[in-house]
Amino acid sequence: MIFGRQDKETPVKRIMPRHIGIIMDGNGRWAKKRGLPRTAGHTVGAANFKTITRYCASIGLEYLTVYAFSTENWKRPVEEVSALMKLFRQYLEEALRDFLNENIKVRFIGDTQVFPEELQKLIRETEEVSKNRTGMVLNIAMNYGGRDEIARAARILGEKVARGEIDPEEITAQAISDELYTAGQPDPDLIIRPSGEQRVSNFLLWQSAYAEYIICDILWPDFKPQDLEDALDEFSRRQRRFGGV
């Protein structure tokens, strides 16, 4: 079920967002409901991440951003963090192998320099092999936090002012956007949060200023392409005004 205004009876003309963000939430609860360790939920969540990514590419989405690991997720028990690191390594190794023939350009957003060297190497390789692809751009947010990202942009601009390269008046909203990890990409039109939690959780804070939010009570491992289709229908019914009337 999708929360919010819905009118499933009226036929809707599909309006395709250019950029979708997904908070892949609910893996732990999915596992708990089945009497399994939380890490089992992440494994199924990772498999679903591949399914939904491929589906988004197949329907012609231009940009997909997924929240895989936040700057706050380090607070989780050490076994859970290690299991997630192992999954990321596995996925990237698979992505290098299996996604070779898929036209998906993979980018990482967040401070990835804190990850183990082996994982960083895979991150660099994955970006390198996919950089000339022309299909969907997949941003994987890892050690990502919206506040960190904005603070980083402010620091970069502050340094430019200190070096005399720009004047303080040149620090505009556009100048900040241009220093974010997502520089050059359109802002997300739609952010989907499965699992029923009604929070932003530090995801794409700056970029989501006018994004439509869709919260649904399906846990991420159970979120199917049909649920994405339902979210797209709901998005098509929304009237976006961007602060106008």
User: Which stretches of the chain bind ligand FPP, using CB under 6 A?
Assistant: 24-29, 42, 45-46, 49, 68, 73, 87-88, 91, 140, 195
| Residue 194 CB, nearest approach to ligand FPP (Å) | 9
| Residue 223 CB, nearest approach to ligand FPP (Å) | 10
For 51, the token pair is 């399914």
| Residue 166 CB, nearest approach to ligand FPP (Å) | 35
Give the span between the Cα atoms of 5 and 193, in whole angstroms: 16
Given 25, 187, 189, 227, which residue is catalytic? 25
Contact 3, 216 (CB under 8 A): yes
Give the span between the Cα atoms of 175 and 160, in whole angstroms: 11
Residue with Cβ nearer ligand FPP (17 or 221): 221
DSSP 64-104: EEEEEEETTGGGS-HHHHHHHHHHHHHHHHHHHHHGGGS--
DSSP 195-231: TS----TTSSTTTTTTPEEEEBSS-GGG--HHHHHHH
Given 73, 111, 222, 233, which residue is catalytic? 73
Residue with Cβ nearer ligand FPP (17 or 45): 45
Residue with Cβ nearer ligand FPP (88 or 235): 88
CB atoms under 10 Å from CB of 187, counted, come to: 18
Percentages (nearest 5) of helix, strand, coil residues in the chain:
45, 15, 40
| Residue 67 CB, nearest approach to ligand FPP (Å) | 7
| Residue 92 CB, nearest approach to ligand FPP (Å) | 8
Residue with Cβ nearer ligand FPP (122 or 190): 122
What is the largest distance, in Å, between two alpha-carbon atoms of the chain?
59
Residue with Cβ nearer ligand FPP (46 or 191): 46
Q: For residue 134, give the amino acid letter.
A: T
Q: Is 132 designated active site?
A: no
Which residues does the annotation mark as catalytic? 25, 73
